[in-house]
Amino acid sequence: MTTHTIHLPEWAVERGRQLNDFQHVDPARTALVLIDMQTVFLAPGEVFGNPYALAIVDTVNRLAAAFRAAGSPVIWTRQTVDHRPPRAMPGWQYDLSIPEVREAVETMEAGTPSHALHPAMATAPSDIVIDKYRYGAFSCPAGALEAVLKARDIDTIVIAGTLTNCCCDSTAREGNMRGYRVFFLSDATATRTDEEHNAALLTVRLMFADVRTTEEMLGLLQEATADA
């Protein structure tokens, strides 16, 4: 199994504490946001198939089960292409004359097998699945994520999924700027290379989120449920 070698310097962890250092969670006001664990990003042979992303499947499923048990919403996003305004991306961003770009766009249209959550993802009937039409879930013109969070009075989000340095990073930054406390899980996010993964963790930790391991996050959740 291909897993990331994580390197997050201690100086970055310490500096980041000045802005994002969360020692407790309230499960009733916390949502687990699982970014784009779709076939297109995980499966071998897919246009964005990635062994690092495939390697976090069990970790993501474990997180989802724990947050469900704690009574927290579990939200799955799917990166989605829609050619109708306002959900359509600007025309200049995707040059469909490039075969690789056209293939990528076609695989992320709703209803395709590639667009679906990967079959190994252990979803539950209580989970929420939303399509997002931008890398950052909060900037999506459909507004689904923020509507779900506001309806449930959520003030804290926990981010896992893929890609670390694209949709996960973008969603963390946007969530922080909208006033949400953000946890970002270093070993439950994945991208194409260790270099990209660690670069994203560094920036996110410095400014936008409390970067934790899965074990640390589950420990905070366990403490919260034990005190309830």
Give yes or no for residue 227 having a pLDDT over 80: no
- Per-residue confidence at 107, pLDDT binned at 50, 70, 90? very high
Classified by CATH at the fold level, domain 10-227 comes out as Rossmann fold (3.40.50)
pLDDT band, residue 228 (cuts 50/70/90): low
Confidence of residue 100 (pLDDT cuts 50, 70, 90): confident
Residue 168: what pLDDT? 98
User: Averaged over 215-225, what is the pLDDT?
Assistant: 97
Residue among 14, 8, 31, 64 nearest 181 (CA): 31
CA distance 123 to 109: 21
Res. 221: pLDDT tops 90:
yes
| Catalytic annotation, residues | 36, 132, 167
pLDDT band of 112, cuts 50, 70, 90: very high
Percent helix, strand, coil in the chain, to 5, is 40, 20, 40
Nearest by Cα to 130 from 75, 84, 83 = 75
Q: Of the ranges 53-57, 103-107, 117-121, which one carries the lowest mean pLDDT score?
A: 103-107
pTM above 0.95, yes or no: yes
DSSP string covering 148-201: HHHHTT--EEEEEEE-IIIIIHHHHHHHHHTT-EEEEEEEEEE-S-HHHHHHHH
Q: Is the pLDDT of residue 166 over 90?
A: yes
Burial, 55: exposed, middle or buried (Cβ in 10 Å; 0-12, 13-18, 19+)?
middle
Is the distance from CB of 41 to CB of 163 less than 8 angstroms? yes
Q: Is pLDDT at 50 greater than 80 in this prediction?
A: yes
